[in-house]
Amino acid sequence: MSNIRLFHMAIPSYGHSRAFRCLWLLEEPGTDDFEVCMLTPGQPYAPQMQKHGVMHSYKIPTLQMDGHEIGDSGVISQLIAERYQENKQLLGVAAERIEMLQWLGMAETCITFRMPLLHLLMGNGTKLTDVQAQLIEPMRQVFRENVAHFESHFDKQGGDYLLDSGFSIADTMCAFSLHMGDSWGLMDLKSGEAPKTLAYLERMRARPAFINTKKYAELTPDLYGRGCVPIV
């Protein structure tokens, strides 16, 4: 077993769990010291993870690292970035720490937590049309405000990434939320009102590590190494 094992679930041509953020981050430095355990959608996670040595966690993402079980994509992302910082600096510079933490909060509190349909849609057979009136329409204004926040940032700051110093965990966290919001039609990024945000998202989607991470959705439940290589 590798020193790092991440548990993830995805549905082909539909979407990934929030573990996508962590897996994308693992793919970025180009190291091979990690394993990915793909779980079966629509089935309880805890029994599946227990077969691979998980003792306490019952949700994804879960990361096994150095004898610890760690949850929450933001926490996992920070730990991964710290571990591989000699390979690639993904935490920004010291002066950006507060801004970086604010973006991590934005990714969760202002985007994901305001998508209560995530747990309904990922692996439970619920269709977007089934929750349109109850969950999606009441949140349209919130989603527009989320997009406007990003657009305002790029209007003022410019640059290709959320932090001036370059690509970071702020991007893996927030770009995943934008990606899922756009893919599911929850956020309007194609009407021309947020061109800088759309351009940013397309830059993130074009990164080789992002492209590689998307491929994990096509795998059958099992253990894999970097690049979707089966672990025998």
pLDDT tens-digit profile of 36-45? 999 998 889 9
CATH T-level topology, domain 94-207 = Glutathione S-transferase Yfyf (Class Pi); Chain A, domain 2 (1.20.1050)
For 83-124, write each residue's pLDDT tens digit. Answer: 999 888 999 999 999 999 999 988 886 665 455 555 555 555
Residue with tokens 């879960």: 62
Residue 118 pLDDT: 57
For 157-202, write each residue's pLDDT tens digit. Answer: 999 999 999 999 999 999 999 998 888 878 888 889 999 999 999 9
Q: Any idea where the domains of the chain sit in the sequence? A: 4-89+209-230, 94-207
CATH T-level topology, domain 4-89+209-230 = Glutaredoxin (3.40.30)
Average per-residue pLDDT for the chain: 88
The C-alpha atoms of residue 47 and residue 65 are separated, in whole angstroms, by: 19
Q: Report whether pLDDT(134) > 70.
A: no
Residue 120 pLDDT: 58
